[in-house]
Every structure is written in C-alpha cells, then in structure tokens.
Copies of this chain bind each other. A is one copy, B any other.
C-alpha cells in the first residue's frame, strides 16, 4: 500500500533507498508565498548527515539538497515542491554476505516475508537514510511554523542509563556537543559510554525529547485525529522507536488524579493558563496553549560487530558479526528527525484547524 505518504493538507511523499541513486521527497499542499531556497533546508540535513563524529557512521555524504519544482522567483507557488538528495557513497562493496542471511533487529526477515525478496544494499528502503527526506520536508514545515511564532527545542534526553539533569538544562549546549544533549556533563558521560560500548562491539539506545512552544490552543481533532495520536504515529514511524510519550508519559500510570491534573488560573497579563503541564500541552487531543512535550525511545543500532545467532538462505543456523559503516547509536542523528516529524504533524493540524468554525470561515471569505 501507499506507505510513503504522510499528512492530509501538508502532505509529503518520500522515496529512495540507502544505496539507490538518490533520496527525495515531494511536498504537496505547501501554502503559496513562502520564501524558500536550499539554504532553508540544508542546515537541517546537516544535523542528520553522517560522518559528523565518532558517534555516527563514517559513510561520506554531502547530503546536498536540490529543489526541483514548486518554487518560482524565490517563493513557493502552492504546487508540489520536489526535493532531491543524491547518494554519493552508494557504490561498490560486496553485499553478497549480508544478502545471504537475516540480520537480527533489522527488517531483512520481514521484507522477505512480505515481498518475497529485498533490496539488501544497506537496508534498502528501511535504512535510516530514508529519514533524509523527512528532514528536508520538516525544514519547510518548521520555516512556516516559525513565522507563526512556533518554535522547536529538540535534544537527546538520555543515552543508556545516562539522562540529562533538568536542573542543568542549557539549551545553548545542545549544539555544543556531538550528542545534542542540553547538559554538558551528561553529554560527556554519555560519550564515554558510547565509546566503551563501541569498543565492546556493541551499540546503545537512548531517548529524544522535544519541546514545542507557541502552539495556539485548539489544534488537533477529537477522537481519532487527536494531535497526540498523530504525534505518536509520526514518532513511532521513525525506525528504531519503540515508545512514544506525551507530557508525563509512562509515569501517569502511577500518578493519582490530583497529582496529574493541571489546574487553571487567570491573571490579566497571561489570561487563562495551566498551573502545571503534566499533560504536555495536549488535552482531549487538542493543544492547550502550553508547551507540547514529546518523547521517543530509540533502541540501540541493530548492526553490531558482536557475534549473533541467525539463519541463512539455506536455513542453516549460523553466527554472524555485522561489519560495515554503522552508527554505534542512532539517537543524536535522530534528534532532527523527531523535530521534523513533529513539525509536519503540527503544521498539518494547524492547517486543518482553519475550517473548525463557521465564524472563522466567514471571516476568511468576507
């Protein structure tokens, strides 16, 4: 089925494999009149780009994006924006070994089960490289949202057992360390941990957190198209994510009503506000005007040098050690992917919200 399209009004369709000619995305439904060129997109791709540090694959890619359509005289025209990133480093290499067995933790087995065969070169469509296209589209969504006063702060919340200390939270620090953690001390410990695990031929997981400020109240729809439901889908659709939380997340199951409820208060300066934000900015599936808080837990990179049990094409039980250019941890590069997916989701909700009331419609068309 059509699994590579996301969004209702701001709708993206992505394509491309890890070792194909290119990766790309078509954005349909981007509003007209937005000033846009490649320099708006590239910084986001650079945050996701491989080869940034010892914590990511040494695969060398520029990830230079080119806009092929939908922009005229520097502005979006309302027609589809096609963007392409050519794969530079996809050639060569012998994949015959990897093609011969199922890598544990990868989609090799399920791809074969579904389609009867698979593109085994670097994971094909299931490669993390697919997220390049999401980030390119997300950069456009973020540019629009920024113009409406909505901003994103996204970062690594934890790696293994090492979590940030919220008392030491420093937004400026996020881009200072290669792990994108807002706490220099935690980042330093986490770096040591990742290096240690890499040396042990292992890999590690972690958690990405995002805070979205400035979202007007009322975005999202009751029942199935709740804003949190769509954020959950958006984040869970990122490879390696196994848990999505909103606000206090998993902890709510242990809290009482009086602990979890956010009371309201009114002052002349602020208007009506919540006194706390356990809800993470969403009530009844609609944004409530306070910060939206999202969290996604990522499993460790499945490709490890450490010996693992698996089965080959001849149905023989074998031991394998996965070689190649792999990230020891996907989390730091995934930070911008989480941000991109959240932005696309929120923009779509914001656009859909414009038709909520007869008064809003009348005002628009009068």
Contacts and interface: CB of A to CB of B under 8 A. Distances in A.
B357 A310 contact: no
A228 interface: yes
A78 interface: yes
Given A1-B355, A105-B257, A148-B362, A68 B21 contact: yes
A188 interface: no
Interface in A239-271: 239, 242-266
Copies in the complex: 4
Contacts of A116: 32-33, 357, 359
Contact of A365 (B32, B105, B216, B299): B216
A6 B102 CA distance: 34
A72 interface: yes
A242 B245 contact: yes
A330 to B, nearest CB: 10
Interface string A295-306: 001111111101
Interface residues of A, number: 165
Given A33-B359, A243-B250, A217 B109 contact: yes
A223 B3 contact: yes
Interface in A110-164: 110-111, 113-119, 121, 124-126, 130, 144, 147-148, 158-161
B355 A288 contact: no
A226 B236 contact: yes
A98 interface: no
A51 interface: no
Contacts of A77: 17, 115, 117-119, 124-125
A185 interface: no
B4 A69 contact: no
A109 B286 CA distance: 10
7 contacts: A15-B79, A16-B69, A105-B261, A202-B257, A202-B258, A242-B249, A252-B300
Given A15-B82, A229-B236, 6 more contacts: A3-B224, A72-B119, A78-B357, A114-B218, A115-B218, A207-B253
The 8 A-B pairs of least Cβ separation, nearest first, read A107-B284, A3-B221, A114-B218, A263-B309, A3-B225, A203-B257, A113-B217, A233-B233
